[in-house]
Structure 1
Amino acid sequence: MDGGYYAIKGFEYQIDKTLSEVLFSSNDESVIGIEQIQDVNNGDYVIQVKYKEAAKLTPSAIRKPIIQLINEFILDKSRNYILYCYFFDTNGYTENVSIDLLETILGKEKDKFDGTVKNSFLSKFNLCFSETFQNQFQSVLRKLQELNFCNSKDEAIYFYSVLVDYLRKKVVNNPPDQVSSRQVTKNELLNYLNKGRKVTFLSSYKEYRGEQEYFKFLKSRFKKPIKNQNTIIFFGDLVESDSCNLQSLVHQIVKNHYHRATHDVKPLIFIIPDEKIIEVKSYLIKENCLLNDGYETILFNQKYFESPPIINKKMSGGKLTSSLSKTSFEARIISNLTLDKITELNLNVSWIFIDSEKHKLLCDSTYQTINNLNTEQLLKLF
Structure 2
Amino acid sequence: MGRSADYTIQGFLYQFNQTLSEILKASDDAIITIEGIVEDIEVETFSGIKAIQCKYHETQVKYAPSILYDPLLQMMKHFKSNSLANIKYHLFAHFPNTPLVTISSVELKGALNSKDKKLAKLVIEAAGVDIDGFLKVLTVTITPKYTDLMENNIAQLEALGFHKTEVETLFYPNAVQIIADLSIKHDEKLRTITKLDFLDTLRRIRSTAISQWTLALRNRAKIIEARRKQLKECLSSNVRLRHIVIFPRFIDQFDEQIVLFIKSFIDKYHFKISHTQTPLFALDVSHELLDEIAERLIGKDVIPNLGRPVKNFSEAIFFRDPMVLKDKKEFVLRLIRWDDYLGLTPTIKADDLFIIGDGDIQQLDIKDVNLEALSAEKFDEIKYMMGLSNGY
- Range into which the TM-score falls when normalised by the shorter chain: 0.5 to 0.7
The one of 224, 228, 240 equivalent to 1:219 is: 228
Paired amino acid for 1:299:
N
Name 2:35's counterpart in structure 1.
35
SS in 1 for 2:355: strand
Name 1:372's counterpart in structure 2.
376
Name 1:163's counterpart in structure 2.
175
Name 2:319's counterpart in structure 1.
306
Rounded to whole Å, the distance in 2 between the matches of 1:375 and 1:129 is: 37
Contact 2:324 2:330 in 1 (8 A): yes
User: Residues 193 and 293 of structure 1: is their aligned pair in 2 closer, same or farther, counting only changes over 3 Å?
Assistant: farther
The one of 284, 288, 295 equivalent to 1:282 is: 295
Contact 2:259 2:296 in 1 (8 A): yes
Rounded to whole Å, the distance in 1 between the matches of 2:143 and 2:379 is: 42
Name 1:26's counterpart in structure 2.
27
The one of 228, 231, 243 equivalent to 2:242 is: 231
Q: Does 1:271 align with 2:279?
A: no
Name 2:348's counterpart in structure 1.
347
Structure with higher strand content: 1
Contact 1:198 1:367 in 2 (8 A): no
The one of 332, 335, 338 equivalent to 2:337 is: 335
Name 2:127's counterpart in structure 1.
none
Q: Deviations over 1:140-159 (max 9, x none)?
A: 11122346553426x42443
Paired amino acid for 1:329:
F
Q: Deviations over 1:98-125 (max 9, x none)?
A: xxxxxxxxxxxxxxxxxxxxxxxxxxxx
Contact 1:294 1:305 in 2 (8 A): yes
- Stretches of structure 2 lacking an aligned partner (at least 5 in a row): 37-52, 66-91, 101-140
Contact 1:306 1:346 in 2 (8 A): no
Rounded to whole Å, the distance in 1 between the matches of 2:223 and 2:99 is: 31
Contact 2:241 2:278 in 1 (8 A): yes
User: Residues 209 and 222 of structure 1: is their aligned pair in 2 closer, same or farther, counting only changes over 3 Å?
Assistant: farther
Report how far residue 250 of structure 1 moved.
0.7
Name 2:359's counterpart in structure 1.
357
Q: Deviations over 1:169-210 (max 9, x none)?
A: 3222x22xx232111223433343333465422344444446
Report how far residue 333 of structure 1 moved.
1.0
Point out the structure with max Rg over C-alpha: 1
Q: Deviations over 1:276-309 (max 9, x none)?
A: 3122211232333333222297332234423444
Paired amino acid for 2:283:
I
Name 2:204's counterpart in structure 1.
195
User: Residues 130 and 326 of structure 1: is their aligned pair in 2 closer, same or farther, counting only changes over 3 Å?
Assistant: closer
The one of 233, 253, 257 equivalent to 2:265 is: 253
Contact 2:17 2:149 in 1 (8 A): yes
Q: Does 1:181 align with 2:190?
A: yes
Deviates more, 1:290-299 or 1:267-276: 290-299
SS in 2 for 1:180: helix
User: Residues 329 and 184 of structure 1: is their aligned pair in 2 closer, same or farther, counting only changes over 3 Å?
Assistant: same
Contact 1:6 1:53 in 2 (8 A): no
Q: Deviations over 1:234-263 (max 9, x none)?
A: 112222389x6211221221121134452x
Specify which structure has the bigger relative contact order, considering alpha-carbon pairs within 8 angstroms and separated by 6 or more residues: 2
- Stretches of structure 1 lacking an aligned partner (at least 5 in a row): 37-49, 59-83, 93-127, 315-324
SS in 1 for 2:173: helix
User: Residues 167 and 266 of structure 1: is their aligned pair in 2 closer, same or farther, counting only changes over 3 Å?
Assistant: same
* Percent of aligned positions that are identical: 17
User: Residues 246 and 9 of structure 1: is their aligned pair in 2 closer, same or farther, counting only changes over 3 Å?
Assistant: closer
Report how far residue 334 of structure 1 moved.
0.5
Paired amino acid for 2:312:
L
Q: Deviations over 1:291-339 (max 9, x none)?
A: 3222297332234423444558x8xxxxxxxxxx454432111112312
Aligned residue pairs, count: 292
Contact 1:296 1:338 in 2 (8 A): no
SS in 1 for 2:239: coil
Rounded to whole Å, the distance in 1 between the matches of 2:271 and 2:54 is: 54
Q: Does 1:89 align with 2:90?
A: no
Q: Does 1:136 align with 2:135?
A: no
